[in-house]
Structure 1
Amino acid sequence: MKRPIARPTVTPDKADETPIVRAPRAFAPTAVDRTDTPFDSEPEETLVAPPPKRMSWWGRLAWASSGILVSAGLGLAADRLIRDLFAANPWLGWVGLSVLAAFVVAVIALATREVFALRRLHMLDALKRDAARATADNDQRRAKLVVDKLLGIYAARPDQARARQDVADHLPHLFDGQEIVALAERNLMAPLDARAKTLTAASARRVALVTAVSPRALVDIAFVIYESVRLAGAIAALYGARPGFFGFWRLTGTILTHLAVTGGLVLTDGLVEQLVGQGLAAKLSARLGEGVVNGLMTVRVGIAAMRVVRPLPFETQPQPMVRDFIPELTKLASDNAKAP
C-alpha cells in the first residue's frame, strides 16, 4: 500500500498572483427596534429600614383612657393614704405628704425625659427622610437644613468636634444638595459607622463564646436577648438617639419590624451555604457551630439598629452586611476548636 503524498493545488506560476477577495455581503434591515434594559436606581427593598408605623386612632384612645383611669385611681389612693396618715398622727401626715411630693417631682422629671427621648427619635427619623428627599431632588436648601440640625445634635460631643469643623469649613463651598449630604455622611457618619461595627463585632464574639461554653440552652437564649438589647441601646446612644423606657420599646419594635421585613429572624440559604462552603461543618463542634449562628443573629440585630437609628441614609458609605462579620466569627470559633 502506497503512503499518501501531499501535492500543492496551486501551480508555481499562479502562486504569486494576488488572490481574489470577495467582499462580505451585508444585510440591511428595513426597520430596527431598539430596546434598552431598564435600570432600577432604587435601593433594594431588603436594605431599607421600614418607617415606624403610627398607632391607630383607636389605639391612642385606648391608651389615653386607660392612662386617665390609672391616674385617677392612683390619685384617690394617695389622697386616702395621706388622710389616714394625718388622722393617725400629724407628723406622719406631713412625712407622707413630703414623700408624695418627691414622688410627683420624680415622675414629672421622668416623663419629661421620656418626651424628649421620643422627640429625639422622631427627629432622627425626620432627618433621614429629609436627607433622602434632598439627595433625590438635589435640593440645596433642604440639604443645608439637614446638616445644620445634624450639627446641632452632635454639638455637645467632643468626639465629633473635628468632623463638625470639617463640615463647617467645606459647607459654604458646596451648592448641590447631593454633595452637601454626602459631605455630612463622610465626615459625621463614617466614624460612627466604624464604632457601631466594632460594638456589633464585640457583642457577637461574646455571644459566640458564651454559647460555646454554656451548659444550658436557656442560658444561651437569655444571653442572646441580653446582648441584643444592650447592643441596640449602645448603637442608639452612639448615633445620638438616647432612648428612654418608652423610646427604647419603640426602638425595639422598629428593629424587630426591620428584621422581619428583611428576613433577619432566620438565616438565609446563601448564608448557610457560605458557612458550609468554608468547611465549618467538618471543623467545628456542634456547640461552636451554635455559637457562630447565635453570633450572626446578634450581628443582624446590630445591623438593623444601625439602619434604623442612623440619621442619614447610606449613600456614599457602604451598608453593613452580615458577610463582613463572618471571617472574624469563624476565626474565633476555629481558635476555640484548636484550643485544648
Structure 2
Amino acid sequence: MTSTQRPRAFRIPAADQTGAIEGDVAPPSTVRMVEEPFEIVEAADGTPVPVAPKSRAPWLSLLLVALGGLVSLGIGLSLERMISDLFAAAPWLGRVALVLLGLAAVALAAIVVRELAGIWRERRIELLRARAVEAMATRDHTGAQAVVRDLAALYAGRAALAGGTKRLDTLGDAILDVDDRLAIAEHELLSPLDRQARNAVATAAKQVSAVTALSPRAIVDVAFVVFSAVRLLRRIATIYGGRPGFLGFLRLARSAFAHLTVTGGMAVGESMLQQALGLGIAARVSAKLGEGVLNGLMTARFGLAAMAVCRPLPFIREPAPRITDVAGELLKGSGAEKPAP
C-alpha cells in the first residue's frame, strides 16, 4: 500500500524558545554517578537494587570448629575415664578428682569472662574513636556530644581525671563547634594519659637500647626486644583503659603492626635523617651500640603505633608524638659520641 499522507512543513523554534513549547521534556539538570556499581545499583526509577554478596564457603572456620569439637570430645572422654578409674580404685580419689575438676571449670569460666571483658573494652574504645572521626567528618554536633559523654563515662572511675570530667560536665549543651568540643575533651581527659604513654615508650626505648648494647648474645637481644614490646603494648592499653587479656592482646598487636606498616615504619623527613645520622655515628663507635640505637628506635616506633591504636580519640588539637619526643635522648646520645681514631 502507498501512503496517502502528504508532505508537511515544520517551523523550528529558536534556541531560547525551545523550553517554552508545550509537551517538551526538559533535559535532566544533574547526572547521577555511581562509584561502587558492585555494591548498589540505581534503577531507572530511583529505587536501589541491592546486589547479592558473593558467597564463599567458610572452609577455614569449618576446619577450626571441627578440630575444636574433636579436641573437646577427646578431653571430655579422657577426664570421664580417669574419674571413673579413680572411683573404682578408691572412692575418695574420685571425689578429689571431681573437686579438682570443679575448680578447673571455675577457673576456665573466669578466664573466659576476663577475655570477653578485655575484648569488649577494646571494641568500646575502637567504636568511640570511629564515632569521633565520623562526627568530625559529618559535622554532627549530637554525635560529638555523645562521644564526649561516653569518653567521660570511660574514665569516670579515675581520680586523677575527676577534675577534667567535672569541667566537661559544665559544658553540657553549650553551643560549640564539633572540633572544639572534641578538642576540649581531648585536652581535659587524654592529655595526662598521653604524657604517661610517652613516658612509657621513652623508658622502654632506653631499656631496649641499653640491654642490646650490653648483652653478649643475640638471642638475649631478641628475647628482650620481644618482651619489652609485649610489656609496652599492655602498659599503653592499660593507660588508655583497655586492659586486654590474651586474645585482646593479640588483636591489639595485630592492629599495632598493621598501623606501623601503613605509616611506613620509619617516618620520612627530618626524623628519618636524624635516625640515620645517629645510627651511623653510633655504628662507627661500636657495632653493638649501633644495634642498641636501632632497636631502641624501632621500639619507640612500635610504641607510637600502639598509642594510635589504643587511644580513644584521634589526635585533634594535641600534637601527635614524634620519634624525637620519645627517643630524642637516643639520637642525642649517639650523636654526641665521637668516632674512635
Range of TM-score over shorter length: 0.7 to 0.9
- In structure 2, the partner of 1:104 is 105
1:289-308 superposed matches below 5 A: 289-308=290-309
What is the deviation of 1:267?
A: 7.6
Mark the CA change 1:156 to 1:63 in structure 2 (over 3 Å): closer, same or farther: farther
3-state SS, counterpart of residue 319 of structure 1: coil
Most deviating of 99-108 and 208-217: 208-217
Query: 2:125 touches 2:310 (CA, 8 Å); kept in 1?
Result: yes
- In structure 2, the partner of 1:19 is none
Distance 2:239 2:201 in 1: 12
Query: 2:208 touches 2:228 (CA, 8 Å); kept in 1?
Result: yes
Q: Does 1:253 align with 2:254?
A: yes
Deviations 1:158-194 (A, max 9, x none): 2221221221122332443322211211111111111
- In structure 2, the partner of 1:145 is 146
3-state SS, counterpart of residue 230 of structure 2: helix
- In structure 2, the partner of 1:238 is 239
What is the deviation of 1:241?
A: 0.6
Query: 1:232 touches 1:302 (CA, 8 Å); kept in 2?
Result: yes
1:18-97 superposed matches below 5 A: 57-97=58-98
TM, length-normalised to structure 1? 0.76
3-state SS, counterpart of residue 325 of structure 1: helix
Query: 1:284 touches 1:334 (CA, 8 Å); kept in 2?
Result: no
Mark the CA change 1:62 to 1:247 in structure 2 (over 3 Å): closer, same or farther: farther
Mark the CA change 1:278 to 1:295 in structure 2 (over 3 Å): closer, same or farther: closer
Q: How many matched pairs?
A: 282
Mark the CA change 1:130 to 1:140 in structure 2 (over 3 Å): closer, same or farther: same
Distance 1:125 1:298 in 2: 23
Distance 1:165 1:59 in 2: 50
Query: 2:193 touches 2:240 (CA, 8 Å); kept in 1?
Result: yes
Q: Report the AA paired with residue 166 of structure 1.
A: R
3-state SS, counterpart of residue 173 of structure 1: coil
- In structure 1, the partner of 2:214 is 213
- In structure 2, the partner of 1:323 is 324
Gaps of 5+ in 1: 1-55
Q: Report the AA paired with residue 88 of structure 2.
A: A
- In structure 1, the partner of 2:4 is none
What is the deviation of 1:145?
A: 1.6
Q: Report the AA paired with residue 299 of structure 1.
A: A
Q: Report the AA paired with residue 66 of structure 1.
A: L
Distance 2:158 2:287 in 1: 45
Distance 1:195 1:117 in 2: 21
- In structure 2, the partner of 1:204 is 205
TM, length-normalised to structure 2? 0.76
Deviations 1:264-313 (A, max 9, x none): 1x686865532454695177432222211111000011001000111101
| C-alpha RMSD of the superposition | 2.4
Query: 1:239 touches 1:311 (CA, 8 Å); kept in 2?
Result: yes
What is the deviation of 1:230?
A: 0.6
Query: 1:205 touches 1:329 (CA, 8 Å); kept in 2?
Result: yes
Mark the CA change 1:337 to 1:219 in structure 2 (over 3 Å): closer, same or farther: farther
What is the deviation of 1:321?
A: 1.6
1:122-141 superposed matches below 5 A: 122-141=123-142
Most deviating of 300-309 and 255-264: 255-264
Q: Does 1:274 align with 2:274?
A: yes
Distance 2:298 2:244 in 1: 23
Distance 1:236 1:210 in 2: 24
What is the deviation of 1:122?
A: 1.0
1:6-21 superposed matches below 5 A: none
Mark the CA change 1:228 to 1:163 in structure 2 (over 3 Å): closer, same or farther: same
Q: Report the AA paired with residue 274 of structure 1.
A: Q
User: Larger RCO: Structure 1 or Structure 2 (Cα < 8 Å, ≥ 6 residues apart)?
Assistant: 1
Distance 1:95 1:218 in 2: 44
Gaps of 5+ in 2: 1-56
What is the deviation of 1:80?
A: 1.2
